[in-house]
C-alpha cells in the first residue's frame, strides 16, 4: 500500500485510478482532488511526506 501524499490515506498501487510520476517516483492518490492539489505544488508535498497534515485532508 502507498500513502496519498496529500491526505495520508492508504492507496492500493494495483488498483489506484489516480497516480502521477514526479521526478521518477510514482505517487498514488485516493481521488482526483488530491492528485490535482499535488500537481499544483508537488515540491511542497514531497518535502512534507514525513508528516501528515489534517488541514489539507480532502476526503477524510
CA distance 45 to 24: 15
pLDDT at 38: 97
pLDDT tens, 14-52? 999 999 999 999 999 999 999 999 999 999 998 866 554
Task: Indicate the DSSP class of residue 48.
Answer: T
**Grid coordinates belonging to 37:** 492539489
CA distance 19 to 39: 11
pTM of the model: 0.79
pLDDT at 29: 98
CA distance 38 to 52: 14
Amino acid at each position: 500500500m502507498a500513502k496519498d501524499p496529500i491526505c495520508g490515506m492508504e492507496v492500493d498501487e494495483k488498483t489506484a485510478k489516480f497516480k502521477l510520476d514526479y521526478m521518477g517516483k510514482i505517487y498514488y492518490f485516493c481521488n482526483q482532488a488530491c492528485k490535482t492539489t499535488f500537481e499544483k505544488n508537488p515540491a511542497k508535498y514531497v518535502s512534507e511526506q514525513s508528516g501528515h497534515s489534517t488541514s489539507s485532508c480532502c476526503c477524510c
